Amino acid sequence: MTTPPKPAFRKVIKGGDFLKPKKWEHWTEGDFAEGTYENASEKDFYGKPIYEIKVTERKITGDDPTIKDGDKKGIMPLYTNGSMEFQMQEASYGDLVRITYKGMATTSKGKFKGKPCHNVEVMVAGYVTPEEKAAAPSEDDDLLG
């Protein structure tokens, strides 16, 4: 009678082995992260998405985290805020994005009106606004001669 082979086991990597999101209060106005928008599957304490950017370039002052080896190599997770969540709706997975910290602002409307908030600018490579799409000639127009 032969003994069945033992299953291959692999070490479970705990959270400390992955890059943790950097809090916005540690960013300085003008700091940025640029790269490919990879994912937004994890949720923060408030149920908001944590955006994962595969970084190609970055300038972040203060406690700049080290990007670790392994499955998450090159990924910078970013906590969302109201301005970022709204702007990231225009980005799709695989898009080249640049998130720039614009400093603190005051919320102008909604239930947090008058409260300070972190302000970011999201830029998407090749993004065309709905107004630009509407103003552009249709490819069908060329067919009509």
Q: Which of 43-52, 70-79, 98-107 has the lowest mean pLDDT?
A: 70-79
pLDDT reported for residue 66: 52
Token match 């999201």: residue?
Answer: 122
Where b means 16+ CB within 10 Å and e means fewer, 35-54 reads: bbbbebeeeeeeebbbbbbb
Over residues 93-145, the pLDDT tens digits come to: 999 999 999 999 998 888 889 999 999 999 999 988 888 888 887 666 555 55
Distances (CA, A) of 94 to 7, 11, 21, 59: 36, 30, 20, 21
Over residues 85-95, the pLDDT tens digits come to: 889 999 999 99
Where b means 16+ CB within 10 Å and e means fewer, 67-94 reads: eeeeebebbbbbbbeebbeebbeebeee
Share of the chain above pLDDT 70, in %: 74
